[in-house]
Structure 1
């Protein structure tokens, strides 16, 4: 009884703390037998949902016969070399229920077989770079022989494996900003140069016109 009470309190606390995904229809709250879902399932549902709301990105991976030692090493690599990334082994059926009727519904098809998610907590801390963190996590995952990248969500954008490869090739955000600024500034400089030349041209035209009028009168 005490264990059930603790599980109930844990599930209630998790539901209170974790934010909710926007849905076109509310999630089911009862089983097909008209009974409330078990406290453990309620806890997992709330936990999974919270990661998709609060984490700046979620990378979906499929793991094949990853033993305890390999899983521990993978977790450590992610945490140390991907800006505190976490690995969570998930229940595919449960996470599909979490994503159903949300903007991430299509991501549910990636959860087949033994799957896990890579996510980030406390992303608002100073110095955190979400784009770099995802790239680092992807690079680390590619080195794992028994782990396969399935897809990801970055912000509100869904990425398939092909898009993830392109994502890795994108320049850093600071470089992108510099490129955009260069595109904006370049035409502006050209426009300024043109505007500066207009008065000179206008003066030249007026002088020519004046000279022409003077010559005509002299004749």
Structure 2
């Protein structure tokens, strides 16, 4: 289906805006997927703070070049759906990898993380990374562990001093009671 020049310009602008707001893009082949399957995928991607578009390859190349991003020419052929990570890239990668495992019609072919091209295997590796919130929790746990050790050591030392002073006080009290 041929589209006119104005529509092409609109699509390029739409792709450019999505690229500017994305931390990563993932390219997938979706041949043979039903409308129902595509809609279910779209909902899961939206939940992961992403967006998926069936993109025109030539127009996506133009938008990538206008954003000074290297277009992955070898990946942009055939039926391509582009997923834009508007949030965390790893979260969207997890959704795509999980969906590709359950639906053999969806194939991850690669992507871009910033300006770095990704292979399909690298997208799968990205999907195994913890989310930013999980990483923050792990870092806080690591930072808190030494502090707890210091508090325990100081509290243990103070406890020993208090026990020694208490023993001396009891000894003095018992000596005074014997003298009386």
Q: Counterpart in 2 of 1:72?
A: 35
Deviation sequence 1:137-160 (CA, Å, 0-9, x none): 331133332331022345676543
Distance of aligned partners of 1:62 and 1:164 in 2 relative to their CA distance in 1, 3 Å threshold: same
Contact 1:49 1:98 in 2 (8 A): yes
Q: Hey, what's the Cα distance between the residues in 2 that align with 1:129 and 1:105?
A: 21
The unaligned stretches of length 5 or more in structure 1 are: 1-6, 8-37, 202-219
TM-score, normalization by structure 1: 0.54
Q: Hey, what's the Cα distance between the residues in 2 that align with 1:195 and 1:108?
A: 62
Contact 2:20 2:67 in 1 (8 A): no
Distance of aligned partners of 1:191 and 1:108 in 2 relative to their CA distance in 1, 3 Å threshold: farther
Which of structures 1 and 2 has the larger relative contact order (alpha carbons within 8 angstroms, sep 6+)?
2
Matched, 1:184 2:148: no
Matched, 1:100 2:65: yes
Q: Counterpart in 2 of 1:34?
A: none
Distance of aligned partners of 1:198 and 1:153 in 2 relative to their CA distance in 1, 3 Å threshold: farther
TM-score, normalization by structure 2: 0.64
Q: Hey, what's the Cα distance between the residues in 1 that align with 2:81 and 2:132?
A: 28
Match of 1:61 among 28, 39, 49: 28
The unaligned stretches of length 5 or more in structure 2 are: 161-180
Per-residue deviation, 1:186:
1.5
CA RMSD of aligned residues (A): 3.5
Matched, 1:52 2:19: yes
Per-residue deviation, 1:180:
1.0
Contact 2:97 2:124 in 1 (8 A): no
Distance of aligned partners of 1:73 and 1:55 in 2 relative to their CA distance in 1, 3 Å threshold: farther
Distance of aligned partners of 1:71 and 1:46 in 2 relative to their CA distance in 1, 3 Å threshold: farther
Match of 1:138 among 73, 76, 97: 97
Aligned length: 155
